[in-house]
Structure 1
């Protein structure tokens, strides 16, 4: 299957500073692909190059094999919100749909359906400045998907949303992917990325650090950790076999285990005198992986770089 978006060896510099260094990745039809990285990593520059807002110094960006940007097939929710504040909601939605060559009658029908779905029924005649931040975010999201794009870029889509609205967005994003839309999602909310995305591309200082499926990333980076609540001493546990390190947080100890650990047999090594109020074993989260890489701790990774 040919990917909708293909980014190959992308390079970009501003004056003497190289922002992007040989960036390559793909986004396929019907998948949710995350592009992640700390502030200043190069995510926004990458997205702006994809959208044609700026142009790369080197490399290629193709859409279904073509270099021309199919603007009427792309939806874009930017991190910096830019809708006109003093314009009525329906007017701005129809205007943006018209710019995408989408039929006005269908656009109005879809807009009313989405406004109802997102709890904005009756707000079509309100101006954006009358709406809350969360409501404005919903309108911007509707604007990005109203014309039924084949490729959708979502930059911090959950910003300003309450938990109920986050669930609505998550479900709609999943529905779009299930319908075949290729989605590139950027977010700092790692729990949502881990829950929703099929693959991820993590960039740091303009370079690829991780690129692969969520399962690949988990296998490569997310070793097991054992969390024990109780009054215990670090020194009693840090010398156990297959323990990389132990962190203490008040009356909780977190044991980070080595990659090749067999969890069921390893548990037999726990001392009988251990005080256990709660015990859980799970894998290191994407949030922890992100922090480890972004802060250059390199405490989680064993072995070579993941290039799945």
Structure 2
């Protein structure tokens, strides 16, 4: 199985879990609010660019893209956004893939927005993560859920030694131990970028890092000569980014990456699609990603805090 298809298979499983566990009951988000006199439209009437009038989660689509491949940009008031379709730049994509897999260990701090919609209603919540991941499947993730309104924060610690996973929820003073295979359905919560990194086989990572050929790098990553791969340019606050969007032909799920061209650095990842009638969109904004963070013998081990009770199972989801 191609590496890219393997990642989508894991994400598809996670999306299936969403469709079972989430009750969608909040009203839909209002349309984008732009400051007066800053709106520029394409000939078909769709938004080309504007300066945002309030803090907004902006959903944007390429002119030739179906609704299923819409993307979300996490933006603040005063942000200037625009987008344009571009010819695929495989050299930049190869540089970004190589940079993403350069080290065998990363510490990633990020903020994610999860949007779930159905029949005119939607549910949105934020997730803050700090995940240390190794290419051998080990990780330590601090996950904070911010519920609608931003008033309630729920903290979860997840540690994996490559074989088993410890889940600890501080507000319950409870922890559970499960296998890595059983935890895969909730891997999404450690952050999209960390999930993709963990799913990259170590031999594939090494081949990509050592290769000098752009076509070979993209091929090893599983995206070469695939009609499901597209690129567009986006301008946010005057800075240009390249957005690579890959749509899985079978399931219709879209995986996107926002790359800074000058540094070939991944700044944002997104996964979107439909599962059991739910339109689910997960957008991760990478705040900081540090290669080769310091670890010790206790990094991937869980020591129960005083008073913590072991239970049979725990779900990371707060819903």
Instruction: Return the index of the structure with the highest Cα Rg.
Output: 1
Instruction: Specify which structure has the higher proportion of strand.
Output: 2
The two structures have a TM-score, normalised by structure 1, of 0.22
The two structures have a TM-score, normalised by structure 2, of 0.22
Instruction: Specify which structure has the higher proportion of helix.
Output: 1
Task: Flag the structure with more relative contact order, 1 or 2, with Cα contacts below 8 A and sequence separation at least 6.
Answer: 2
